[in-house]
Amino acid sequence: MSERVLIVDDEEDLRYIYMRQLRGDGYLLDTAADGEEAIGKIRENEYAVILTDMRMPRKDGLAVIAAAREYLPEAEIIVLTGHGSLENALQAFKAGNIFEYLLKPLDDIGILNTVVARALERRNLRKHNCELFDQLQRAYEELRQKSEALFQQEKMSAIGTLAAGVAHELNNPLTAVVGFAQLVSEKLRSNRPSNWNDTEYERIAQALDNLVHGAHRARDIVSTLLRFARASKPSARSLVDMNQTLRDAFVFTEHLLLRNGITLEKQLAPELPPVWGNAARLQHVFTNLLINAQQATPSGGTVRVITEHSEEPKGVWIHVEDTGHGIPPEELDKIFEPFYTRKENGTGLGLSIAKQIVDEHRGEIRVLSTLGEGTRFSVFLPTDEAQSSNPPRDSREAA
């Protein structure tokens, strides 16, 4: 594509000479008889080079230079003037990034071709450098995000290894605690000591029931840790029951909600089809969403988790709703960006990593929010892969 050049001079003969001289170089040439006409053309066209006189009627060369800086910041400007004082030169260079300042009449008209060609070279080099800089910025951002993702994956793997060790160490003593607590409770219920009054008996019986319940809860936590550990490698894939994955997330978050006076409502659809994925990473998504909901909801509020089966497209939807403060509309498009946070001590990585994990599962995450009413995060996960008789080979082997 030919470069466009604008020639601005109030002398018609000079405009004709400049055009005739540059025509052979293949440029698209426009002319203007004064500064006002030139500014109008600058607003409407894309010029690579502007050659302008300084003293002209209806706005001078300084006005042309100022307009070029505003509307065409990449254009190169060449000043051609018959009033070559130091003051004029300083004014021109102060007005904009002037490529060349030439006095007319030119001793050798051929120099015009050389100056315009060099101006175009500098413009194209500058554009190329800007493009390279943008590419480097994008590459750096991509590398930073991948580095953060790798760090999170390694951290998940390390947590999984630690969880497995802790779970195995706790499993045996917990089994003994559960067994003996149940045994003592049953004995007490069937053979009440004769020297205990009703109040004392009920108090001790209730304490034993609490002990049995606590021991069962501790064992559930250990089972959840073991499931998390088995799936802690990001490449590990299997058929995942999303209702069970959510129950595992509740093990770690429900007490946090209750402690802050928030009711957790569970509406889990029965016979939900499985998805093909990484249970630990998906649990990480919903644990994060539940913790965010807790932090956004005042005491007395409600967090609701809903699962439902979708036929078109085939998959499952998981909704996490809260009755919290809501998210301002202008921030909704930013919340999944890395390092963007509305919390004073937040890292800005939780939702970014959650979206990345959902993307890994070919899913989708959406958010709806109303200020003063609450927020709803909706995650869609496809089930077509899970329902296939031949899941992807690399995923099967990784599992």
Q: Report CA 318 to chain centroid distance, whole Å.
A: 21
Q: 3-class DSSP state for residue 305?
A: strand
With H, G, I as helix, E, B as strand and everything else as coil, classify residue 373: coil
Give the pLDDT of the chain (399 residues) as one tens digit per residue.
578 999 999 888 898 998 999 988 888 999 999 999 999 999 999 999 999 988 888 888 888 888 988 898 888 888 888 765 556 666 666 656 678 888 878 878 888 889 899 988 888 888 888 888 888 888 888 787 777 666 666 665 666 566 666 666 676 677 777 777 778 877 777 787 777 888 888 888 888 888 877 777 777 666 666 655 554 455 668 899 999 999 988 987 888 899 899 999 999 999 899 999 988 889 889 988 998 899 899 999 999 999 999 988 899 999 999 999 898 888 888 888 766 666 655 545 678 778 888 988 999 999 999 998 999 999 999 988 766 645 554 443 333
Among residues 28, 26, 65, the alpha carbon closest in space to that of 45 is found at 28
Cβ neighbours of residue 183 closer than 8 Å, sequence gap 6 or more: none
Q: Which helix (H) or strand (E) holds 153?
A: helix 111-190
List phi, psi (to 5°) of 105. -75, 145
Q: What is the DSSP letter of 108?
A: -
Residue pair 379/365 in contact (Cβ under 8 Å)? The answer is yes
CATH number of 4-109: 3.40.50.2300
Eight-state DSSP code of residue 82: S
Q: Which of 94, 100, 55 is nearest to 76 (CA)?
A: 100
The three state secondary structure string of 41-60 is HHHHCCCCEEEECCCCCCCC
Query: What class has domain 234-399?
Result: alpha beta
DSSP code of 231? T
Q: Which CATH number fits domain 143-230: 3.40.50, 1.10.287, 3.10.310, 1.10.10?
A: 1.10.287
């015009």: which residue's tokens? Answer: 112
| DSSP type of residue 117 | H
- The residue ranges of every structural domain in the chain are 4-109, 143-230, 234-399
Hey, what amino acid is at 51? Answer: L
Q: What is the pLDDT of residue 33?
A: 92
Q: Is the dihedral of CA 330, 332, 333, 336 positive or negative?
A: positive
**What is the predicted pLDDT for the residue at 95?**
59
Q: Give me the pLDDT at residue 391, please.
A: 55
